[in-house]
Structure 1
Amino acid sequence: MQEQQSYFYNFYSKERQNCRMFYFFFESRKAKADPVVIWLTGGPGCSSELALFYENGPFKLTNNLSLVWNDYGWDKVSNIIYIDQPTGTGFSYSSSDQDTRYNETGVSNDLYNFLQAFFKVHPDYVKNDFYIMGESYAGHYIPALATRINKGNKKKKGIHINLKGMGIGNGLTNPEIQYPAYTDFALANKIISKTDYDKINLQIPACVKAIRQCGTTGTETCYSAYIKCQPLLFDIINLIDNKNYYDIRKKCEGRYCYDFSQVEKFLEEVSVKKALGVPSNIRFVSCNNRVQDAMINDWMRNLALGIPDLLEQNIQLLIYTGEFDLICNWLGNWRWVHAMAWSGQKEFVAASNVSYLVDGKEAGILKNHGPLTFIKVQNAGHMVPMDQPRVALRMLELWITGKLTSLQNDVVPPL
């Protein structure tokens, strides 16, 4: 019988008497020895329950708010954790403003402490391979957490976490490279004109300069970079006639261009809260703007800087991107991955693009060298597991078993 649990992780300290991080844990449907995956939804400030119920969790919500099994849940091949973080996201809460997180140092420390507590409670999983997965703003969270785990492991403090890899879906990781790609992606997909392209591009030099001034530790300079760079995206959004900027094939409908009202209704039901152990006065909000506002100075920092050290230790990195997402588009991700300096950079750049095949059919384009793999997924937007659930599950299964790159052999033209 599959183990399914929801918990609050309590921060036990004098300073943090009422800070609780909420998470779900689902044991693999196949084998307890399968890898442990922690899933981080982005935002910042968006609940991982969005992924649980709309993307890759064990269950889907029906129109009458009942649960049905998801045939493509990632718990089919992994033991998976969904956590609401930073504090203030989803059901995670605190009674103190001291628990508000403003940068990746605070975020990664909280997640690391959570994992230490998780493996203490679940010692049977300590030796399992461990992977960090997520999408969107998790392009910041994931490298930061991987670095924090690696640091803890090297210092031999606490429980050793068997970190094997990081998987980032349509992430924001290196804004200096990704923001200038907005106009190129929009023009190539014919959602803006050449005149609009040239006009918006006039803002790029100031944006790039501001991001460089932000660096990795700036505060006011990072806010200035955010103000200077966001118009590159917003000016495009204002021109695309209510298109969904997470999937340019669709219309933007609802608060987040998608209708997530079902999960909000479900998790606000009294009986559901009681079953999950959630206090009745804690409201579930899909995405918390206060968390996002608190993280504003973190937005323009380059989290790719810590990745090369992890690659040199053979910690795997999978970057997968739905081809129709604008907001964290494949082109910007493609560019920063190729620009990243590490010992295998030349070989990665020179590697051939090959078909990513699922059930004998091309589902995307794959490029790999050593521990670094990039996949452009066909017919998907920002949330690949929602748009292409079979493709995403197969991708995870092959990646964590080391078979993702060995099965591809059809060379395709350069992108």
Structure 2
Amino acid sequence: MYWLLIFIVIICFHASTSTLTSNSSAGRVEYLPGFQGPLPFYLETGYVGVDENEDVQLFYYFIRSESDPDHDPVMLWLTGGPGCSSISGLLYENGPIKFEDTHYNGSLPTLVSTPNSWTKIASIIFLDLPVGTGFSYARTAQASHSTDIQLCDQAYEFMRKWFESHPEFVSNPFYIGGDSYSGVPVPIITSLISDGNEVGNKPYINLKGYVLGNPLTFPEESNYQIRFANGMGLISDELYKSLFRTCRGEYRSEYISTSNAGCLQNIELYQKCIDGIEQPHVLEPYCGDPREFLILPTQERLKEQRPLSKYECRMYRTQLVYYWINEASVREALHIRKGTITEWIRCSSDLNFTITLNDVRPYHQKLSMKGYRSLVYSGDHDMLIPHHSTQAWVKDLNYSVIDQWRSWKHNEQIAGYTESYSNMMTFATVKGGGHTAPEYKPEECVVMFKRWISYQPL
């Protein structure tokens, strides 16, 4: 009887201290099809179960810092969309490998190392989120539905479980990063972690701040596209002034009265002027509507490639990942669970996802008051979320300037412009960058990130 009582006590104690235990699975990847030789960095992939009964299985790629992983920062990276796989960040933005820039010959695409990886100075977890993105999947129909708030809750649960299974990184400085739509969940997740630390949630996460690129932030964002178009010479000064006068600064169709004929006529003229402009980067060739392209099945998408696309259209160059990741050998190397995702899609347009939040400025204000660091950068040739709108909400936080607007340089050349504020927020433009700035200007962006993460001025 005495031993039975001890056994019961041990079981109860274990249950009370293991509330985050998960059927997580992870494995190291030493070789990848398409890359010659062993990987020159530590790559781990795996799943972490979250939500009720762990019916949401979130897939991640973890790359350990190539410098000093015992002390370097750890960063969670979310790609935008919503619904774009985090491998977009890994292979096209800030990871240590990329596809070789050669004409595709029909074989498995070749992967090569890149010197411009953010993993040179930080460990990065690239997470497929929300559920249904990339290789993340749901075990029930109900679990396949999610909202932006659930996305954030699941990301927080993921990080607690990930640190529980990787205790060697718990004391490292921790940041959250992302771009585009991730401008919405990143400050919310940062706030959830901060609140969790304050109420004593375990493990304690050594949160230091967040990083955002061309981030979606508030509803009036698109109003700044017209200002951007005028500044880039896409519309005339006369049309810009007429638009401002007739529409009173509000250009979103749902807010324009049908009786405002002058505004509607000017909006039509504006649309004609920008027809044929590649909005993610206005200087690049126009390759059609990416939304129409992405909803095509893989084989149809590959047939759609035009001769121009092989060399000039970035949207088509990114299709190499389809030839690669849907290969059985690649999936096996990445430890993908068989039968979970039949056809991998880089940016899914068929998510069971509901957006309920469209203004996260209060979260930035809250985090500013708590003293968290933040780097907000904008590729200055992006028309989707122009730098004007990002500057507007940053200034609306109403913190004093401590480092006035100036250029920042790389290799003695101007790489962009920057301004810093008393809330420990740094804003920076990336000269010549597009919507996902590291994709267009990888060398400049890794320099920017390295200086900031090392507490150096840009």
Q: Which whole-Å CA distance do the structure 1 matches of 2:223 and 2:169 have between them?
A: 42
Q: Report which of the two structures shows the higher radius of gyration computed on alpha carbons.
A: 2
1:295 aligned onto 2:354: yes
User: Is 1:142 the equivalent of 2:186?
Assistant: yes
- How much has 1:135 moved relative to structure 2? 0.6
**Is contact 1:270–1:280 with CA below 8 Å preserved after alignment?**
no
Cα deviation code 1:127-151 (max 9, x no counterpart)? 0001111110111011111011111
Which residue in the other structure is 2:47 paired with? 8
What's the CA shift for 1:400? 1.1
Relative to structure 1, the CA distance from residue 204 to residue 286 in structure 2 (aligned partners, 3 Å threshold; closer, same or farther) is farther
Q: Distance in 2 between matches of 1:235 and 1:383?
A: 28
Give runs of aligned pairs for residues 62-141 of structure 1, distance below 5 A.
62=100, 63=104, 64-100=108-144, 102-141=146-185
Aligned to 1:185: 228
Counterpart in the other structure of 1:399: 452
Q: 2:78 aligned with 1:40, yes or no?
A: yes
Structure 1 unaligned residues grouped into runs of 5+:
211-231, 406-415
- Give 1:51's aligned residue: 89
Mapped to 2, the partners of 1:243 and 1:365 lie a distance apart of: 25
Equivalent residue of 2:284, what SS?
Answer: strand
| Distance change in 2, residues 1:193/1:30 (3 Å) | same
The answer to whether the Cα contact below 8 Å between 1:322 and 1:330 also exists between their aligned partners in 2 is yes
In 2, Cα distance between equivalents of 1:286 and 1:167 = 22
Change in Cα spacing, 1:335 to 1:41, as seen in structure 2 (3 Å) is same
1:80, distance to aligned residue in structure 2 (A): 0.7
Cα distance, 1:393–1:351 mapped onto 2, change above 3 Å: closer
Task: Name the structure 1 match of 2:279.
Answer: 245
Question: Is the counterpart of residue 29 in structure 1 residue 89 in structure 2?
Answer: no
Equivalent residue for 1:268? 326
- Equivalent residue number for residue 279 of structure 1: 337
Q: Which residue identity is paired with 1:190?
A: G
In 1, distance between residues paired with 2:195 and 2:99?
A: 39
What's the CA shift for 1:390? 1.2
Residue 159 of structure 1 aligns with an amino acid whose one-letter code is P
Give the count of matched residue pairs: 374
Deviation for aligned residue 1:263: 0.9
2: distance between equivalents of 1:381 and 1:118? 32
Find the aligned partners of 1:310 and 1:248 in 2 and give their Cα distance: 33
> Contact (CA 8 Å) 1:102, 1:297: kept in 2 or not?
no
Which string of whole-angstrom CA distances, capped at 9 and with x for unpartnered residues, describes residues 287-331 of structure 1? 11123x723443xx2111111221222211111001100001101
Aligned AA (1:240): I
Distance 1:88 1:199, change over 3 A: same
With over 3 angstroms needed to count, the CA separation of the structure-2 counterparts of 1:367 and 1:189, relative to structure 1, is: same
Question: What is the Cα deviation at residue 369 of structure 1?
Answer: 2.0
SS of 1:376's partner is strand
Identify the range of structure 1 (302-311 vs 94-103) with the bigger mean alpha-carbon deviation. Answer: 94-103
Q: CA RMSD in A?
A: 2.6
> Is residue 406 of structure 2 the alignment partner of residue 357 of structure 1?
no
CA contact (8 A) 1:55 1:389 kept: yes
Identity %: 28
Shift of 1:196: 5.2
Give the drift of 1:202: 2.3
5+ residue gaps, structure 2, are 1-39, 256-265, 291-313
Q: Distance in 2 between matches of 1:91 and 1:105?
A: 21
Please give the alpha-carbon distance, in whole angstroms, between the structure 2 residues aligned to 1:166 and 1:47.
20
Amino acid at match of 2:319: S
Q: Which moved more, 1:147-156 or 1:238-247?
A: 238-247
Which deviates more, 91-100 or 379-388? 91-100
> What is the Cα deviation at residue 187 of structure 1?
1.3
Q: Which residue of 2 aligns with 1:216?
A: none
Q: CA deviation at 1:90?
A: 1.0
Which secondary structure state, in structure 2, belongs to the residue aligned with residue 352 of structure 1?
Answer: strand
After TM superposition, give the deviation of residue 207 of structure 1 in Å: 4.6
**Residue aligned with 1:365, SS:** strand
Q: Give TM-score scaled by structure 2 length.
A: 0.76
| Residue of 356, 359, 374 corresponding to 1:317 | 374
8 Å CA contact retained: 1:60, 1:68: yes
1:359 partner amino acid: N
Contact between 1:101 and 1:107, CA under 8 Å: does it hold in 2?
A: no
- Say which SS state the counterpart of residue 375 (structure 1) adopts: strand
C-alpha distance in 2 between matches for 1:202 and 1:128: 50
CA distance in 2, matches of 1:7, 1:47: 14
1:195 Cα deviation (Å)? 6.0
Aligned partners of 1:173 and 1:302 also within 8 Å: yes
Once residues 120 and 440 of structure 2 are traced to their aligned partners in structure 1, the CA distance between those partners, rounded to angstroms, is 18
Counterpart-to-counterpart distance in 2, 1:234 and 1:56: 38
Verify the 8 A CA contact 1:73 1:393 in the aligned structure 2.
Answer: yes
How many Å separate the matches in 1 of 2:141 and 2:217?
27
For 2:282, what is the secondary structure of its paired residue?
strand
